[in-house]
Amino acid sequence: SQTIHQWPATLVQPVGSPLSLECTVEGTSNPNLYWYRQAAGRGLQLLFYSVGIGQISSEVPQNLSASRPQDRQFILSSKKLLLSDSGFYLCAWSGTGLNTEAFFGQGTRLTVV
Amino acid sequence: TQLLEQSPQFLSIQEGENLTVYCNSSSVFSSLQWYRQEPGEGPVLLVTVVTGGEVKKLKRLTFQFGDARKDSSLHITAAQPGDTGLYLCAGAFGSGNTGKLIFGQGTTLQVKP
CA-nearest of B55, B62, B83, B66 to B27 is: B66
| Mean pLDDT calculated for residue range A13-31 | 95
Of B97, B100, B103, the CB nearest to A43: B103
Nearest to A70 by CA among A56, A57, A54, A58: A54
In tens, the pLDDT along B60-113 reads 999 999 999 899 999 999 999 999 999 999 988 766 667 788 899 999 999 999
The residue type at B110: Q
Residues 59-88 on A with a CB inside 8 Å of B are: none
- Set of chain B residues whose Cβ sits within 8 Å of the Cβ of A57: 99-100
In chain B, residues with a C-beta closer than 8 Å to the C-beta of A103 are 42
Asked whether the CA dihedral B26, B31, B34, B38 is positive or negative, the reply is negative
Reading phi first (left if > 0) and then psi (alpha if -120 to 50, else beta), residue A107 is in left
Instruction: Give chain A's domains with CATH numbers.
Output: 3-112 (2.60.40.10)
Least Cα distance to A63 among A43, A34, A87, A84 occurs for A84
pLDDT by residue (tens digit) across A53-81? 999 998 877 789 999 999 999 999 999 99
* Interface with chain B: mutation pick from A48, A101, A108, highest number of B CBs within 10 Å: A101
Confidence of residue B2 (pLDDT cuts 50, 70, 90): low
Closest CA to B45 of B89, B78, B83, B108: B89
Percent of chain B with pLDDT over 70: 93
pLDDT of residue B79: 97
Residue A2: the pLDDT is: 86
Domain assignment of residue B52, given as a range:
5-112
> What is the number of domains present in chain B?
1
Taking CB atoms and an 8 Å limit, are A46 and B40 in contact across chains? no
A and B: number of Cβ contacts within 8 A: 78
Q: Number of H helices and number of E strands within chain A?
A: 0, 11
Distance between CA atoms of residues B14 and B89, nearest Å = 23
Q: What is the mean pLDDT of chain A?
A: 92
Mind listing the pLDDT tens digit for each residue in A82-104?
999 999 999 999 988 766 789 99
At residue B1 the predicted structure's pLDDT band, cuts being 50, 70 and 90, is low
